[in-house]
Amino acid sequence: MRLTKFSRLTIVSIFSLIAMSTAQAQAATAVAKVNGVIIPQSRLELMVKANIAQGQADNPEMRKALRENLITEEILAQEAIKKGLDRDQEVVTQLELSRQAVLVRAFQANYIKNNVVSDETLRKEYEILKVQMGDKEYKARHILVENENEARDVIASLKKKGADFGKIASEKSRDDGSKDSGGELDWSPAAAYVRPFAETLEKLQKGKFTEEPVQTSFGWHVIELTDVRPMTFPPFDEIKQNIQQRVLQREFAAVVQDLRSKAKVE
């Protein structure tokens, strides 16, 4: 069937109307139009969502500030393109890496969304954690040095009459997080520390320090146990969300490892 001149014009008019309607719909949901380029509302909503996730309230002032940022960024991006910076190899690589990072986060979010951990699994994990953490908390202080000889020198100094553990820690320890407080560490279960440190804490007598240096991946330690107390493990409902994150992270790591094993890497 041949189209008449009238029918052809009618079809062209229909497509023109559709195009105009689409453009009008986009403009209606646009945050702004910068030099002819539309900033879609969806971009603002994504920024709002990110800010809410960081604890900010969704209000007109926040949205106005975000809109202004998006406009400024669009102007600067347009200028960068005018200068040909979008063709600079380093910029191209950065854009590729950014795209890849977004896709990785999307894949991880999709996995978490579609893999709900059963309550039974979470309770089993809870019981395992209770056993691992034990029923005691330890208050300790330590002096961290670089090598075994230094640790033995510290022990020799501590054995001298009137030696001050805290003073030696502040002078010699390499642990910036505790040296200023005389090597003092927070109350923690033994399982919170790396294995050699944890095993030493469990064997030490209250008020005693190690007479042999303890080596970990951080260096060489001289450890003093200052106090011990019973530990009450938090109830299941209180840490359920943390346990879920722990299980999902472990399962996701297994998925990643499986994908790596199947990937053809040359």
- Rounded Cα–Cα distance for residues 186 and 74 (Å): 48
- Rounded Cα–Cα distance for residues 262 and 103 (Å): 19
Placement of tokens 């040296």 in the chain: 179
- Rounded Cα–Cα distance for residues 224 and 210 (Å): 6
- Rounded Cα–Cα distance for residues 187 and 172 (Å): 23
In the CATH hierarchy, which fold is given to the domain comprising 135-230?
Chitinase A; domain 3 (3.10.50)
pLDDT of residue 28: 54
Distance from the first to the final alpha carbon of the chain: 57
In the CATH hierarchy, which fold is given to the domain comprising 27-87?
Helicase, Ruva Protein; domain 3 (1.10.8)
pLDDT of residue 5: 43
Splitting the chain (266 residues) into consecutive groups of 10 residues, what average pLDDT does each group show?
44 42 54 95 94 93 95 96 96 96 96 93 94 93 97 96 94 95 95 94 95 96 97 93 94 96 94
pLDDT of residue 29: 79
In this structure, the chain runs to a length of: 266
pLDDT of residue 13: 43
Q: What is the pTM of this model?
A: 0.65
Residue 259, phi then psi, degrees to nearest 5: -65, -40
pLDDT of residue 162: 87
